[in-house]
Chains A and B, each alone.
Chain A
Amino acid sequence: EVQLVQSGAEVKKPGESLKISCMGSGYTFTNYWIGWVRQMPGKGLEWMGVIHPVDSDTRYSPSFQGQVTISVDKSIRTAYLQWSSLKASDTAIYYCARLGSSSLAVQYNWFDPWGQGTLVTVSS
């Protein structure tokens, strides 16, 4: 079974750093892009960016470029989403998701499956 398992909920203070993770299993990890999606409280889905595990080729949404860092460690089948200085407005659930096709470019692809989500709460 293809599965993405994310790290647990985090509570942080403004200005702190954070790195959350997403581990893939049940498929050839290096064949598929992995992406991140934000869902702020009571709101919809926002595409943050994607990364390819083979060469760490990363594409960011303009809205998130410079705000977060997406990385991957293919040796342990894990993708990461990182902040250097959190803000209260970063409070959200963050989902990782694998792109559905290994042969299609990012713009022709879709998210399937999704991780269970990681709740990040930033509060003083």
Chain B
Amino acid sequence: QSVLTQPPSASETPGQRVTISCSGSSSSIGSNYVYWYHQVPGTAPKLLIYRNNQRPSGVPDRFSGSKSGTSASLAISGLRSEDEAVYYCAAWDDSLNGVVFGGGTKLTVL
């Protein structure tokens, strides 16, 4: 069981907006930055969002991150078929003294 909780799946039609949630605790999300990675099956994960809401160069502004209290969310607008992937949230956990990941959310673009 993952320390961070994500819904196992999400789906939406092309062009629409979807939000993926990530719930943690006071020792993880409540005290530290949240990161988002995405992974197309059969490939390595890639960084999508760092420090709660910062996009690395090359990540389109259709992707946005936010954090409030012990929860965070990733929003993807203008959905495209190539956005189909598994999305993972992550954060440092002060109690475990290490990085914890969510279980991943598989996004299907219908």
Contacts and interface: CB of A to CB of B under 8 A. Distances in A.
Contacts of A116: 44
Interface string B28-71: 00001101010000001111001100001000000000000000
A90 interface: no
15 contacts: A37-B45, A44-B104, A45-B37, A45-B101, A46-B101, A47-B100, A95-B44, A95-B45, A108-B33, A110-B47, A112-B47, A113-B46, A113-B47, A114-B46, A117-B44
Interface of A: 35, 37, 44-47, 49, 59-62, 95, 97, 100, 106-108, 110-117
Nearest to B31: A107
Contacts of B98: 47, 49, 59-62
Contacts, number: 65
Interface residues of B, number: 25
Contacts of B92: 106-108
A contacts with B: majority SS: strand
A97 B50 CA distance: 15
B103 A44 contact: yes
Contacts of B103: 44
Interface string B73-99: 000000000000000101010101111
